[in-house]
């Protein structure tokens, strides 16, 4: 990250500082902001992975229903044998040994997602006073263009949390 601690107030000479909700706690080093930022980034990847798991869950369910519809269509077309094979061998089939995807989602959340989320939150609480995105907020301030209307520090409506 570099550059030391961000200035405390924004002045007319364009010294930039994140909003109050995203300022680093007093005495927090660049190295610690960077390290906690890495923890948060890793958890954001877990969030993405969780989303993919829900995609997998919903896509599998959709495919199962489509196979059911296909079996009905085959039967209506006089292909009873093939319809029966689909219903018996595919519709309702476990994705893993003894599991449908909802069970995979529940096990993932219980065994991985929730414990990791609790640890990430605890680290942020302990080291950043619970503040989120401190690294990104400082990066935003470093990368803004002074005076550019699309590079303002905060929303014009006064929402300090954005």
Kindly state the average pLDDT of the residues 59-78.
Answer: 98
Is residue 37 in a domain?
Answer: no
Greatest mean pLDDT among 9-18, 110-119, 150-159: 110-119
pLDDT band of residue 160 (cuts 50, 70, 90) is: low
Domain count within the chain: 1
φ, ψ of residue 60 in degrees (nearest 5): -65, -45
Q: What pLDDT digit, counting tens, does each position of 25-59 carry?
A: 999 999 999 999 999 999 999 999 999 999 999 99
Dist CA 60 CA 54 (whole Å):
10
Dist CA 48 CA 89 (whole Å):
32
- What pTM was computed for the model? 0.78
Is residue 74 in a domain?
Answer: yes
Is the confidence at residue 159, as pLDDT, over 80? no
Task: Say how far residue 130 (Cα) sits from the centre of its chain.
Answer: 18
Is the confidence at residue 109, as pLDDT, over 50? yes
Q: Are 18 and 137 spatial neighbours (Cβ–Cβ below 8 Å)?
A: yes
Dist CA 143 CA 158 (whole Å):
21
pLDDT band of residue 146 (cuts 50, 70, 90) is: confident
Is residue 96 in a domain?
Answer: yes
Bridge partners for 96 per DSSP? 99
The neighbour count for residue 158, using CB atoms within 10 Å, is 7
pLDDT band of residue 12 (cuts 50, 70, 90) is: very low
Taking every pair of Cα atoms in the chain, the longest distance, rounded to a whole number of angstroms, is: 80
Q: What pLDDT digit, counting tens, does each position of 82-91 carry?
A: 999 999 999 9
CA distance readout (Å), 134 to 11, 19, 29, 52, 98: 20, 10, 12, 27, 44
Both tokens of 44, joined, read 């954001």
Residue 86: give the domain boundaries: 46-144
At which residue do the structure tokens 């319809």 appear?
A: 83
Cα angle, residue 18 at apex, residues 16 and 130 outer, rounded to 5° = 155
């Amino acid at each position: 990250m570099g550059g030391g601690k961000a200035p405390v107030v924004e002045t007319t000479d364009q010294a930039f500082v994140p909003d109050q909700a995203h300022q680093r706690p007093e005495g927090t080093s660049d190295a610690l902001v960077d390290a906690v930022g890495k923890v948060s980034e890793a958890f954001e990847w877990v969030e993405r992975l969780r989303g993919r798991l829900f995609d997998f869950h919903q896509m599998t369910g959709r495919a199962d229903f489509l196979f059911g519809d296909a079996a009905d269509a085959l039967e209506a077309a006089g292909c009873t044998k093939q319809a029966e094979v689909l219903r018996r061998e595919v519709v309702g089939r476990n994705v893993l040994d003894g599991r449908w995807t909802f069970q995979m989602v529940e096990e993932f959340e219980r065994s991985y997602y929730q414990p990791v989320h609790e640890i990430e939150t605890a680290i942020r609480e302990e080291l950043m006073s619970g503040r989120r995105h401190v690294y990104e907020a400082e990066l935003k301030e470093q990368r803004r263009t002074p005076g550019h209307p699309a590079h303002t520090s905060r929303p014009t409506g006064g929402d300090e949390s954005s």
